[in-house]
Structure 1
C-alpha cells in the first residue's frame, strides 16, 4: 500500500485496525511522568493488565489450600502446565504432545542437546549462524567441549559475505553440503536476534535431514512473532523463552518442542527428573526412571505456578487474537516503520542510519535493526532520553520492534517525529 508520513494517515490506520483494542490490555510504561514509545517487545514484552488477577487467583488458592492446592486449587498445580499446552502448541504449529512449558531457555537447550547432539568421531560438527545470541554460542562451545571436541573444529559458523549484513541462504546450504560427512546438527535461531533475519526453517530442516543430520532451533525471537509450523516442517527439536513477544514477564518459564517421532521413543537418552516420570506413578517415588512419552518426558521439576499464571494470562490473549492475524498487522506496521524511518533519514544525508534487517517482509518479523553509521551510542542514549524505549547491541546497532499486540501506527509516526528532532540537533 502507499504510506504517508503524517499523523492523519497513522490515525486512519489505527481506526481501521481490527486488533487496535488489544493495545489497551497492556500496561504502557510511564517514565519520569511521561508515557514512552515502547519498541522493545523483542527484549521484554509489556505486562498484560490481566496478569495480576491471574497471579492473585493462585495466591488466594495458596492461602486457602496450602499444599493441598496441588490437587484442589481452581487450576490444580500438579497439572498446571497442562492447561498451557494447547495454546502454546497452537502458537508454534505443534501437536499438543510435542510441547511443554518448563525451565528457562538455555537450560532447556542444554537438556535437548543431551538427547539430540550425540557426536561420534565421524559425525560431530554443528552448523550455526555467525553472530548468534551469546548464550547459544556458549551452549555450543560447552557442549562440544563436554564431548571432547575442539570448538574451532566442530562449530561451523556461516557468516554474511564481506560487505553484507545478512546471511545468504545459499551459503548455509553450501556449508551443509560441504560438511555433510561430519555433520551431526544444524542449529539456528529462527530469527537472528541481531539483524532480525528470519531463516527458512523448513528448508534448513530438510537440508539437514538430507545429509543425516538433526535440525534444531532457538525460537526466542520467533515464537509469538511469526507463524511457526514446527510439526509440519519436520523440525526435530526447538526451545524458546516467553518473556519477549509472548509477554510472560522477565526471566519467566520457557518451552520446548520435540517432534512426535522422537517423543514417542522413550529410549532416547536424556537427563531425567521426577516431573518427566510416568505421571501415573510419579508419587510412588520409585527408583527407576520411566519417562513419559512426548515432550513432557523431558521435564525435570514441578513448575513455578506464579510465573505460569502470568504466562497463562498472555497465552489467553494470543488465543483470542490468533498468530496469523498478528502477522498480518505486523507486516503492515513494520513496513510503515521502515517507510517513516527512511523518509526522515533521507532529510539528513550527512548522518547515515541504515536498516540492516531484510527489506523483504517474508524474511523478517517485526524487528528492524538500525546500524548507526556516522553516529555512536550517544545517539541511542539521546533517543532513550527523548522517550523512545528501544535497545542497543554492540558495536553500533539499535533494535526497534513495533509489536502488533500493543504498538500502534501513531506510535510509529511519533517515533519518526522524535527521530527528526534528534537528527536535526545532531547535525548542528
Structure 2
C-alpha cells in the first residue's frame, strides 16, 4: 500500500491540503480582523461612498455587528467558492484519477483557496465567486452579458479595485462564452460596450467621489454605534481608508516599494512551482482549433496581467494581488477548455516524479499572505 501511495500520491496530497486549510482557519480566527470588520460597519448612511455595499447589506439584517460575523460571513463565502469551483472543475474536466493532479495544482495552490482562507473577510473572494457563477450559467443570450455587467457593478460597489482585479477576467469569460460562441453583431457589441462604460463610470465615481463627506471623528462615532462592542476601538484604526485620496495610496505604495520588492523572487518561485499547470495551460491554448481564438486568449492574458501591474503600482498588498492573478489564470484555463479544440490536450501526468515533487511542495505551503510573502 505504501508503494501505491508513493506512485500515485494525489489523494494523499488532497487530504493534506484539507488539513492545511483547517490549520490556516484556526490561525486566522485568532487574529484581529482589522480591515474586514470595519467594512461590515460602513454603509450608505451618509450617502454614496466607496467600499460600502457589504456593510449596507449587513445593516439590513442587524443594527449591531459582532466581530464573529466577519468569520461567519467569510467562512460561508469561502465554502460557496469551494463548491462553485468544484462544480466547474467537474463540468470541465471531471473527477477521475487522471484529473486529480490538475485539481490539486489549482484547488491546493497556496494562491487559491488556502490564501482566501488567510484573507478571510477581505473582498477578493467575491470576485472569484461571481466569476465562477458566470462560468456555470447559460450564455446563450444578452441576458448573460447583462448579468455579467450587474455582477461587475456589485463588485465595484464592494470595492472599486475589482475593476482591475476581476472585471478583466469577467470580460474575458463573457467574450469566450458568449461572443466567440454565438458570434458578434452590431446589437450585442453595442450592448457590451454600454455595459462596460457603465461599470467604468461607476468605478470613477467610487474612486473620486466616494469619500466620506463628514469629519473622520464623526464617522468613527457613527461606526461605534454599529459595533456590538464599542470598546473595541482598535478595530476602527483603518477608518482613514474612506478619506485617503488615490495620490496618497500611490505615494504610500512607492514608499514601501524598496522593502516589498524583496518578495518578488519568492513570488517568482511560487509561480515556477506551478510549472506543470502552466505547461498544460499553454498546451490547451495551442490546441485551440481557431488561430483567432488563440490570439484573443493571449491578448486577454496580457490585459489581465497588465491590470495587476497597475494594481501593484497603486496599492501595496502584493501577496494578495499575485494570488488573485493566479486565480484569474485558473479561471481563464477553464474558459479556454470550453472553446473548440483541434486535438485533445494531455493532462498533467499523475506518475511523473518531478510533477509529484512540485505537487507536494505547493501542498505544504499554507498560504502566500496579504502584503509580503508568508
TM-score (norm 2): 0.27
Question: Which is higher, the Rg of structure 1 or of structure 2?
Answer: 1
Q: Which has the higher contact order (CA 8 A, sep 6+)?
A: 2
More helix by share: 2
More strand by share: 1
